Amino acid sequence: MEPTKLVISNLDFGLSDSDIQELFAEFGPLKRAAVHYDRSGRPLGTANVIFEKRSDAIIAMKRYNGVSLNGRSMNIQLSMPEVPIPMRRPVGEREFHYRSPRREKFCPSRSAQNARNQRKPPTAEELDAELEAYSSKRIPN
């Protein structure tokens, strides 16, 4: 039994916690149902409903997503569980190196090889010549 949270948006601003609880309790036991309010106490038109069982939450979402409540079509989504932060890897476990499209891959064993394969930056004279060649091209009207 895994608690599952639904996030409901586009709600009528006149709905209360008890309205939401009554509406969703027909699908199964709830741990919590709460409408969201701003700092001044005005409703935001959103709510969370936490079901005790994931299967009940999925049934409620399928049944009520897109259904009009007091003239507003509810948007209901399953809240994704937070991804746990991985623990530090044990000593001796193999390292994974991510190759970013914007950065050179860091791998100490290949750093010397990468240094040899890198192109030297152009000199000021080469850049000036390239700019002069580009500037001298005739642009058609």
For 66-96, the pLDDT digits (tens) are: 999 988 999 999 987 655 556 665 555 555 5
Query: Which pLDDT band, with edges at 50, 70 and 90, does 31 fall under?
Result: very high
Instruction: Tell whether pTM > 0.95.
Output: no
Measure the N-to-C terminal CA separation of the chain; round to a whole number of Å.
72
Q: Which of 49-53, 62-66, 132-136 has the lowest mean pLDDT?
A: 132-136
pLDDT digits (tens, 9 = 90+) for 103-128: 444 445 555 555 556 667 788 888 88
